[in-house]
Structure 1
Amino acid sequence: MTRTVQLIGAPMDYGADRRGVDMGPSAIRYADLATELADAGVEAVDAGDLLVPRAEERDPGDADAKFLPEIEDVCRRLADEVADALAEDRVPLVLGGDHAVAIGSMAGSARDADIGAVWFDAHGDFNTPETSPSGNVHGMPLAAALGEGTFADHPWANAAGLREENVAYVGLRTLDDHEREAIRDSDMTAFTMSEIDERGITDVTEEALDVASAGVDGVHVSFDMDWLDPETAPGVGTPVRGGATYREAHTALETVAERDADEEILRSMEIVEVNPILDQSNRTADIAAELAASALGKRVLYNAGRASHRRRRGGR
């Protein structure tokens, strides 16, 4: 059965200091996203972009959580868009924007369901207004969704009802001191880049999907483009050396697609933090479009559903 994907642009850059990720949705679309999805055998419906006023027109407000009221407004509207897409039996694919949009994506995905999350990111995104060294909310979305710190008092932020035991990080490589301790003390599962080096990306991604999908209705996949090495994907705001390769990224998302072909676990997804200002010839956006297609079933030879069928028949 062909799945329908609904594209939702969330051109928000309130969560980061460096401007530019608000142009991410346009850059990804320009990178032939529609063609990539069509090649994956996916029908795509483009809902356009949310209206997001420019950050320069607003006061950042509280230095511990900059632009938080503006982020709340965008995330509430994004949650409605995601929930509406699911009600139409479509898979929401959110195009960011900074990673704070994940608060809205997950809230909408979990409106009528229990979800887990697989977090592909160089960073932990587990700071709170009390612990963040920058006050940038793109470093807080997972903490917000889990109701950490003062986010416990913000129902719009923790509306996803996530449980720590259903959250799996894939490919962490840089954490603030507080995040390191908080993640270590939590019930989340965290795979670092070192574990990917030792075990391989397929094994790690499969275990992450096991964790995220256990006892829930579906999985939200959150993909930050800074998960890739900056030599591969330079157009991101917070690059960190030592990231995933181009092939590892595709393999990880192909693994997601294969599991989804067998079990339909992929409930929603976002790709975030593409910054065209910092990119080279739209290279990072091109890769983002390709990776979205991999997550939704595109393969070199067989698309995911057919490949899974072939494996079940005993083919090599």
Structure 2
Amino acid sequence: MNAPNLVHLIGAPTDIGAGDRGASMGPEAMRVAGIDRALRGQGLTVHDTGNLVGPHNPWQPPVAGYRHLPEVIAWNTAVHRAVSEALRADALPLLLGGDHCLAIGSLSAVAQHCRAKSRKLRVLWLDAHADFNTHTVTPTGNIHGMPVACLYGNGPQALTALGGPAPQLQADCIRQIGIRSVDAEEKRLVHAAGLEVFDMRFIDEYGMREAMNQALAGLDADTHLHVSFDVDFLDPDIAPGVGTTVRGGPTYREAQLCMEMIADTGLLASLDVVELNPAFDVRNRTAEVAVDLIESLFGKSTLMRR
């Protein structure tokens, strides 16, 4: 199947799962940086559905290992509904976050859609963090550090079963790329789950090209390709506008290659862009870099040779 030509922009302006305030301003920063215009420039039809509505951030301490769990459930339920509606309309849902806890709702909807259509699912998780913490090992209780664990069925039922019986994802469908900050107990859980991780040590040793070749191996026309792009995937020298910067991430050129190789598959069918925090940015620079990279995800290429 070819990637959809219609894109639904879905704003989710919340920092409910994060440890810093400000990611709630991410969707508008992406709009200011020209996300709509950039996608139209790639020949796509764009429908901006506006922003979802959910509870405010009460900024409370964790309860039983989770911060703001009722509010996180409410926001993810809204995201699940909006992404499901986009997929039913044969559109590509592009979730504008917001923090990365929202991927629970987004990917639950995508996984449910793939099961209904009997399609294979491949998830590329572009991030500095593995996001595999649980309420028993988390140092903070912030649920933006738990979405992959929840999607694998390790979390509260209201989140793990959002798209049907848990788990929403199996270990063989996800590839994590750019990882460089993992808590000690979280690392143990990642290894036990058997996640395939192309961390920055792998990229340093073998290059982004080899990482992406392996991460994209086995795709075919019946594969739904989902990209969950946490902006802290990028090195903070080029993307300072996030709340959880980790030095030593992909350079601009490495990130461009990553995006262009994804675009070359022609299989991109859903996308999250999360953790953009304008409160930490410099003149919206990070949003502009993110939009530039998203253009490459949808076909803008530096390739000149035939």
Q: Same fold (TM over 0.5)?
A: yes
Are residues 1:155 and 2:161 paired? Answer: yes
8 Å CA contact 1:128, 1:150 repeated in 2: no
| Whole-Å separation in 2 of the counterparts to 1:274 and 1:229 | 13
Q: Which amino acid aligns with 1:31?
A: A
Secondary structure of the structure 1 residue equivalent to 2:49:
strand
Out of 284, 289, 292, the residue aligned to residue 291 of structure 2 is 289
Out of 131, 152, 155, the residue aligned to residue 146 of structure 1 is 152
Match of 2:257 in 1: 251
| Whole-Å separation in 2 of the counterparts to 1:41 and 1:153 | 36
Are residues 1:78 and 2:79 paired? Answer: yes
The percent of aligned pairs where both chains have the same amino acid is 41
Deviations 1:213-271 (A, max 9, x none): 489741221111111111110000000000111111111011111112xxx3x221101
| Whole-Å separation in 1 of the counterparts to 2:203 and 2:275 | 22
Match of 1:165 in 2: 172
| Whole-Å separation in 1 of the counterparts to 2:221 and 2:69 | 32
Match of 2:47 in 1: 45
Are residues 1:235 and 2:245 paired? Answer: no
CA shift in 2, pair 1:209/1:20, >3 Å = same
How far did 1:116 drift?
2.7
| Whole-Å separation in 2 of the counterparts to 1:61 and 1:197 | 37
Are residues 1:21 and 2:23 paired? Answer: yes
Q: Which amino acid aligns with 2:126?
A: F
The answer for unaligned runs of 5 or more in structure 2 is 116-120
Query: Which residues of 2 match residues 45-194 of structure 1 at below 5 A?
Result: 45-56=47-58, 62=63, 64-114=65-115, 115-150=121-156, 154-156=160-162, 161-194=168-201
Are residues 1:220 and 2:221 paired? Answer: no
CA shift in 2, pair 1:129/1:23, >3 Å = same
CA shift in 2, pair 1:234/1:175, >3 Å = same
Question: TM-score by structure 1 length?
Answer: 0.88
CA shift in 2, pair 1:201/1:153, >3 Å = closer
Match of 2:300 in 1: 298
| Whole-Å separation in 2 of the counterparts to 1:215 and 1:150 | 34
Question: What's the RMSD between the two structures over aligned residues?
Answer: 2.2
The answer for unaligned runs of 5 or more in structure 1 is 303-314
